[in-house]
Amino acid sequence: MTWNIDIANVTKRFGPRLVLNEVSVSIQSGETVALLGPSGGGKSTLLRCLNGLNTFDAGEIRIGEHVLQPGNHAADLQAVRRVFGMVFQDFQLFPHLSVLDNVIEAPIQVLGWPRAKAVERAEPLLKRVGMAGHLHAYPGQLSGGQKQRVAIARALAMEPRGLLCDEITSALDPELKHEVLEVLEDLKRDGLTLILVTHEMGFARKAADRVVVLCDGKILEDGPPAQVLEQPRTERMKMFLQRVLG
């Protein structure tokens, strides 16, 4: 079973404002896609549509065998959400739960795993993101980088096919960014599909298979990083790159 994503003519409005304008993108299972673009371009909105956190007004999104359509907020929405884990810019760890409990909460409550099994699976995940030494710490006691790594482990604990990451390093200092980006590279090697909204050009160039640029609700560029970042076709893209790269 493959978990390709097909976004076809997705349109989204917030009131009078057209935020996504007939966006179409296809993403292969196992691809790493960097989603770039100016602020307000619609990146977050698109990502949230993929996870059913936002509805949309027209078009269709296929994720494997699941179909998301306007109005039809799939009966299997919970199942759709389990295909992709989501990691947020502001972490959104559950502050009343320890690191370990953050990670095992959904497997126990949603998948119905016994606690022992959930813990057994969670420990290697936390080790993988370098948080094995903080199982019983609470989110309030962690640095931003540590929190974000726990958030990644929490998403992975549901055994998703991939991760949707929305600027997950923007709230972090440069050294801490590094920790998190390393984890992502590791996950890419494992074959997870990664869709990353990011402003890390270096990381996009190095780790992404593809760069998609979203501007004013439309796809401005879509191609391999070398092409999109080094030989932009449009003036708009050149301006954007100039601004981002300083």
Partner 1 sequence: MGTLLGAALPVGAQSKEPLIWGGDTDGGFPYVFANPANPEEVIGFEMDLARALADEIGRPIEFKQRTYESLLADLERGDIDIAMNGLEITPKRLKRVAFTRPYYIYQLQLVARADETRFQNLDEAKAKGLVIGTLGATAAAELLEVQNVPFKTYDDQQGPYDDLVQRAIDGVLMDLPIAIYYAAPDPRLKYSQLKPGLKFLGPSFADGYYGIAVRPNDTKLLADLNGGIDRLLDSGKLEEILHKWKLWTPDQYRLYKTVEIVAGGQEMRFGDYLPLLLKGAGVTVLLTLVSFALAVILGLVVAVARMYGPAPVRWLAVGYVEFFRGIPVLLLLYFIYYGIPAIIPGLKLDPFLAAVLGFGLNYGAYEAEIYRAGISSIPRGQWEAAASLGMPAALTFRRIILPQAIRVILPPMTSDLVALFKDTSVVSIIAVVELSKQYQILTKSGGGYLQIGLTTAALYLIMSVPLGYLSRYLEQRWGHKG
Ligand X SMILES: Nc1ncnc2c1ncn2[C@@H]1O[C@H](COP(=O)(O)OP(=O)(O)OP(=O)(O)O)[C@@H](O)[C@H]1O
Binding site for ligand X (CB under 6 A): 14, 19, 37, 39-45
Q: What is the side-by-side strand order in the sheet with 58-63?
A: 17-27, 5-14, 58-63, 66-68
Q: Counting contacts by CB under 8 A, is residue 82 touching partner 1?
A: yes
In angstroms, what CA-CA distances link 159 with 13, 107, 122, 125? 32, 9, 11, 10
Amino acid at site 144: G
Please report whether residue 169 would count as binding Mg ion according to CB under 5 A.
Answer: no
Stretch that binds Mg ion, among 44-52, 78-86, 91-99, 201-209 (CB under 5 A): 44-52
Q: Does the footprint of partner 1 cover residue 95 (CB under 8 A)?
A: yes
| CB-nearer residue toward partner 1: 48 or 178 | 48
- φ/ψ (deg, to 5) at 239: -60, -45
**Which range binds partner 1 by CB under 8 A, 25-33, 154-162, 220-228, 230-238?**
154-162
14 is a site residue for partner 1 (CB under 8 A): no
Per CB under 5 A, does 51 bind Mg ion?
A: no
β-pairing, 162-166 vs 84-87, is parallel
Among candidates 218, 216, 208, which has minimal Cα distance to 229?
208
Separation CA 32–CA 113 (nearest Å): 30
Footprint on this chain of partner 1 (rule: CB under 8 A): 51-53, 78-79, 81-82, 85-86, 88, 90, 92-96, 105-106, 109-110, 154-155, 158
Which residues lie near Mg ion (CB under 5 A)? Answer: 44
